[in-house]
Amino acid sequence: MELKVLIADDDEGMRLILSKVVNKTEGFKLVGQVGDGEAALLLAEELRPQIIFIDIDMPKLDGMECARRIADILPKTFFIFATAHEEYMSDAFEIYAADYIVKPFKVERITKTLERIKGLYKEQESVLPFNKQIYRHKGLEKLVIRNKEGVSFVDMEEIILIQREDRSTVVITGNERYVTSEGLSEIEMRLDGGTFFRSHKSYIINLTMIHKVYPYGRWTYIVKFKGTGKDALITHDKYEELQKMF
């Protein structure tokens, strides 16, 4: 499997350097290059790359806001910020950047970051999904989901996770997906805080369904659930909070 890479930088010379590194590194495929934030957003939505090199200072839409919007569509994207601005590092980590590289940088730094990401993907693929099971309980509380088709009543205890996906919110059970335009925060207010946990800005997880947690990046982890091949992200801070809870 080749990981798709998108480069977003208004400096043509920098795009050339990054493209050469990507093309020379085994396991990666450069799928596009753009010079402004709006073009990066549109191309990311179309091509759905796993990795995006992104500059901060770009025309039309700055890199930080561009990354936030892409993360709302593709929350598992690895963002590698390559920029001349050190002062945005903390903001980048809020978007769960895979790396923040200040220009000028050594090519070896880029190669090392790409190899680290490739290793994380290989580890993820090695985790075999469990056979699907359907959990049935009596007297379950219901979560009301409103969408254009009407209203769905979802058994709380059958919810595995809730995630942002393509600018919508998706409630996932063992065998169903319920899509709504409601935000995660709106739904979170209606959930039992003892059972459901906001693990990431794009995910709410059912604590009773957790099977395994393992690293996905320097500041992020993958959560695997029992009875399904689905997974979610959890930030380092939330992971530490989860450890204290258990």
pLDDT at 243: 85
Give domain limits for the chain.
Answer: 3-126, 142-245
pLDDT at 89: 67
Low-confidence stretches of the chain (pLDDT beneath 50): 127-140
pLDDT at 96: 59
pLDDT at 44: 93
What the block records as the tokens of 185 is: 């925060």
SS3 state at 134: coil
pLDDT at 88: 61
Please state, in angstroms and as integers, the Cα–Cα distance from residue 173 to each residue in 42, 73, 133, 189, following that order: 30, 20, 10, 19
d(CA 101, CA 145): 42
What the block records as the tokens of 94 is: 């809020």
Q: Does the N-terminal peptide bond of residue 59 adopt cis geometry, omega within 30 degrees of 0? A: no
Looking at CATH, the fold of the domain delimited by 3-126 is given as Rossmann fold (3.40.50)
What the block records as the tokens of 129 is: 């999904």
pLDDT at 134: 29
SS3 state at 94: helix
Looking at CATH, the fold of the domain delimited by 142-245 is given as OB fold (Dihydrolipoamide Acetyltransferase, E2P) (2.40.50)
pLDDT 10s digits, 9-19: 999 999 999 99
What the block records as the tokens of 186 is: 């709106």
d(CA 118, CA 123): 9
Report the phi/psi class of residue 140: left, alpha or beta, with left for phi > 0 and alpha for psi in -120 to 50.
beta
pLDDT at 184: 85
